[in-house]
Amino acid sequence: MRAQIGTLIVATSVIQLANGFFGTFISLRVAAEDFGAILAGLVLSSYFAGFTLGALRCAQIIERIGHIRAYAAFAGLVVAATAAMPLRVGPFYWLLLRAVIGFGCAGVFVTTESWLNAKAQPSDRGRVFSIYMVGTFLALAVGQLLISKIEVKGAGSFNSIVALFAVALVMVSTTRAEPPRTVASPKLPYSQLLRAAPLAVSGCVVNGLINSAFYALVPAWMQDQGIERETIALAMLAAVLGGLAFQVPVGRLSDRYDRRIVLALLGLGFAGTAVALVFLRPTLPMVLLPAALLGGFMSTLYPVCVANAHDRMPADRVVAVSGQLILVSGLASVIGPLIGTSLMARFGINGLLYFMAASTLFLSLIAGGGSLIKAAPHRLRRTFEILAPQAVLLAHDSLSSDDSSSPSPAETS
């Protein structure tokens, strides 16, 4: 049992190593190809479109063909699409291939998380998922360091990504799995969620917009400014590590105080840091701390919003709530790079930073105003959970469910 869980966690960390590297690399490569603002935005957004579609459809595929074959199929899609990218360079080819990669990555994460949830004992589940998420953050961080070692224009980077995914595929394909039992989940109309938790929905929209815009566009802008590749790698590394560092303290604050106040503070912190970054020189000593702060604020918006929504919905709707919020955040992630590329084409990086700051400031006003008007709801069973960028809690509850009182990842913190 422990060997299977360990294999899954290590394999997923390898995939996140490739994914963290790929996300920053494709931003640099698209900028180097000079597709134009609109087409570049579409290429960068297509990953999130595929990822969102995958989050919606992958559970049915897993139920039909089983975990090992599903994992192999999804990882195979990523390998094939990545290998094809250097063969046909062009915005329309890459738009389609990046969507396929996003779909495959979502499938890999859904398969892994549902598998882990089935294998881990209820008493150990919180610890298992905490290890899983920490491994995810660290792998995403290490992936940024590879940026300084690559040639943007060559095919070697694509080959490295293919190799990493293939290693993970071999690791998982050589283990055995018992399919988790499936549990019917009650449906949740979107209008009901919007009425019950409008702040959580708004927060997930803002989270999708700023996360996708930041990770897709900031590396490309830094490259266009002639900033050294090592500086770009370290800045993005700082953002991911900032996200890891913020999880536990923000989680504790969120579980102890009104989550709306915590959301308001996160939004204000992000907006203030983004505006301050406008006036700083883009040198390594000057950008590392702001990058870490931005990463920390961004990475905790989504889990606090999810916890806020769970506070306001019955415990038997946990899975449905998570699914709806994933869809909202995913759709916003598709739009973020499109808006960001348009603003950067007209106003440079300042336009993007002001857009992100305005979005989070708007969220802060809604959250802070709501806390003054209405009392916080009675807390239900679900607490803050550590959720990694690009690997949100997709479906490990929807494919398998024990009693709803089993510990969440946050309960280990």
Closest C-alpha among 334, 326, 356, 23 to residue 206: 356
- The one-letter code for the residue type at 99 is A
**Phi then psi for 55, rounded to 5 degrees?**
-60, -30
Tell me which DSSP letter residue 311 carries: H
**Res 316: pLDDT:** 62
**CATH second-level architecture of 2-412?**
Up-down Bundle (1.20)
Domain borders along the chain are 2-412
**Res 66: pLDDT:** 79
**Res 267: pLDDT:** 94
Q: Which residues contact 90 (CB under 8 A, 6 or more apart)?
A: none
Give the Cα separation of 155 and 116 in Å (integer).
Answer: 34
Q: Cβ-count burial of 127 within 10 angstroms (0-12 exposed, 13-18 middle, 19+ buried)? A: middle
Give the Cα separation of 321 and 234 in Å (integer).
Answer: 36
Read off the tokens for 3: 């060997």
Read off the tokens for 36: 């134009």
Q: Which residues contact 2 (CB under 8 A, 6 or more apart)?
A: none
**Phi then psi for 393, rounded to 5 degrees?**
-65, 95
Give the Cα separation of 240 and 226 in Å (integer).
Answer: 22
Closest C-alpha among 8, 55, 47 to residue 30: 47
The Cβ-side half-sphere exposure at 34, using a 13 Å CA radius, reads 1
Instruction: Tell me how far CA of residue 24 lies from CA of 27, 29, 56, 172, 178, in angstroms.
Output: 5, 9, 25, 26, 36
Give the Cα separation of 83 and 44 in Å (integer).
Answer: 17
Give me the tens of pLDDT residue by residue for the chain, a chain 413 residues long: 666 777 878 888 898 899 889 988 999 899 888 888 889 899 999 999 998 888 888 878 887 887 788 888 999 999 999 999 999 888 999 999 999 999 999 888 888 877 776 666 666 666 676 777 788 888 888 888 888 777 888 888 899 999 998 998 888 777 765 555 555 555 667 777 788 788 889 999 999 999 999 998 999 888 888 888 888 889 999 999 998 889 888 888 888 888 889 999 999 999 999 999 888 877 778 888 999 999 999 988 888 888 888 777 776 666 677 777 888 888 899 999 999 999 998 888 899 999 999 999 999 999 888 666 665 565 554 555 555 444 443 433 444 444 433 333 333 33
**Res 257: pLDDT:** 83
